[in-house]
């Protein structure tokens, strides 16, 4: 299970580490628990170029027979249908999954914030009107707005890869 990688593009050292980790992964299932991308959006069905290497690595993961489960986060919920189309992994938040005979509840952490303010922000950002607004802005301005809304990512440490 991986959550909150907040990948920001090909210049992001954490993204490079994540790619190496994905290529070495040996498992039955990979669960992405949201905020893998610091900001995610597709324009006319195509993702931003800065994430193409991650998506290619996920293609290799799936090609090795590793099942992919996706739970959207508060930074990467836009156009998550892309993952269903490309990988056959239907995003679903929250969801129950059976792992090794145990039922496991999967949800991104932002679901624990029940404040009115967060509910309002979440409702507006996930609403149809905001989605239409992003499409009107186009890919350059739309991604720029999402970068601003996502804010600065705190980098605590990146994993070293042998």
Q: Is residue 161 part of a domain?
A: no
Range of the domain at 78: 13-150
Least confident of 18-32, 50-64, 128-142: 128-142
Task: Dump the DSSP string for the chain.
Answer: -B----B--TT-HHHHHHHHHHHH---SEEEE-S-SBSS--EETTEE-GGGHHHHHHHHHHHHTT-EEEE---SSS-TTTHHHHHHHS----SSEEEEETTEEEEE--GGGG---HHHHHHHHHHTSHHHHHHHHHHHHHHHHHHHHHHH-PPP--------
Q: Is residue 156 part of a domain?
A: no
Q: Is residue 61 part of a domain?
A: yes
Q: Is residue 37 part of a domain?
A: yes
Count the alpha carbons within 13 Å of 26 in the hemisphere toward its beta carbon. Answer: 1
pLDDT 10s digits, 67-106:
998 888 876 776 778 888 898 887 777 788 888 899 988 8
| Distance of alpha carbon 127 from alpha carbon 124, whole angstroms | 5
The pLDDT, as a whole number, for residue 39 is: 74
Q: Is residue 119 part of a domain?
A: yes
Count of the separate structural domains present in the chain: 1
Q: Is residue 57 part of a domain?
A: yes
Whole-prediction pTM value? 0.77
- H or E segment to which residue 81 belongs: helix 81-87
Q: Which residue has the higher pLDDT, 157 or 132?
A: 132
Q: Is residue 1 part of a domain?
A: no
Q: Is residue 6 part of a domain?
A: no
């Amino acid at each position: 299970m991986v959550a909150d990688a907040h990948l920001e593009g090909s210049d992001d050292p954490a993204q490079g580490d994540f790619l190496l980790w994905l290529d070495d992964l040996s498992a039955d299932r990979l669960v992405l628990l949201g905020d893998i991308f610091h900001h995610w959006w597709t324009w006319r069905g195509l993702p931003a170029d800065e994430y193409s290497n991650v998506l290619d690595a996920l293609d290799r993961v799936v090609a090795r027979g590793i099942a992919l489960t996706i739970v959207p986060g508060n930074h990467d919920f836009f156009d998550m249908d892309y993952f269903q189309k490309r990988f056959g992994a239907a995003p679903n938040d929250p969801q129950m999954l059976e792992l090794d005979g145990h039922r496991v509840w999967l949800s991104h952490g932002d679901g624990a914030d029940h404040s009115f303010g967060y509910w309002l922000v979440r409702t507006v950002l996930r609403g149809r009107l905001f989605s239409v607004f992003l499409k009107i802005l186009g890919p350059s301005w739309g991604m720029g707005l999402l970068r601003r809304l996502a804010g600065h990512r705190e980098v605590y440490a990146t994993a070293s890869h042998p």
